[in-house]
Amino acid sequence: MESTMARDAGRKPISRRLALGAVAGITATGVLASFGPVHAAEAKTMRVYKSPTCGCCERWVDYLRASGWTVEVVNLQDVSSIKKQVGLLPQLAACHTAIADGYVIEGHVPLPAIEKLVTERPDVHGIAVPGMPQDSPGMRGGGVQDVLAFTRDGQTHLYTRVAG
């Protein structure tokens, strides 16, 4: 029977540095794999451009935050400038403009439509609830909203109809 010493005589011992590096690498791989990719639908972050004096915009932000979204508010004296920058069609304009996961969200869009947008990731520039419907989130709420999708070249279509 061959002794352990004779069997291991031709092998070099593993250095402490190499052993610790291997353990650290395996541990880091497991930790990173447990997080997986993070998308906006999971992160739920949005930037909202609004007038500092608009109460309904602030209520819409509160509505999003109450549903777990992290919202950065940018108050502007002239909200029309951001609408031009993001390429919003004038007929889709409302009182505030938001950006989430690269999409433009215009007006009092109900949360289910926003979550559908960032989850499904359709080939559109954004979604909008034009004007200021009195039964939309941030206003009185509770109404059913027609949410329009729009492309960069100006095409629009009904994206979804949801309660807000």
In contact, 132 and 94? CB cutoff 8 Å: yes
CA 47 remoteness from chain centre: 9
Decide: residue 108, CB within 10 A, 0-12 exposed, 13-18 middle, 19+ buried.
Answer: buried
Provide the percentage of residues in the chain whose pLDDT is more than 90: 55
Q: Which residue, 91, 57, 92, is CA-closest to 74? A: 57
For the stretch 54-89, pLDDT in tens is 878 888 899 899 999 999 999 999 999 999 999 999
Span 40-163: which CATH code? 3.40.30.10
Reduced to 3 states (helix: H, G, I; strand: E, B; else coil), residue 160 is strand
Instruction: Answer whether residue 159 shows pLDDT above 50.
Output: yes
Sheet holding 70-75, edge to edge: 70-75, 45-50, 97-100, 103-107, 126-129, 144-150, 156-163
Sequence ranges of the domains in the chain:
4-35, 40-163
> Averaged over 30-40, what is the pLDDT?
36
Backbone angles phi, psi at 120, to 5 degrees: -80, -25
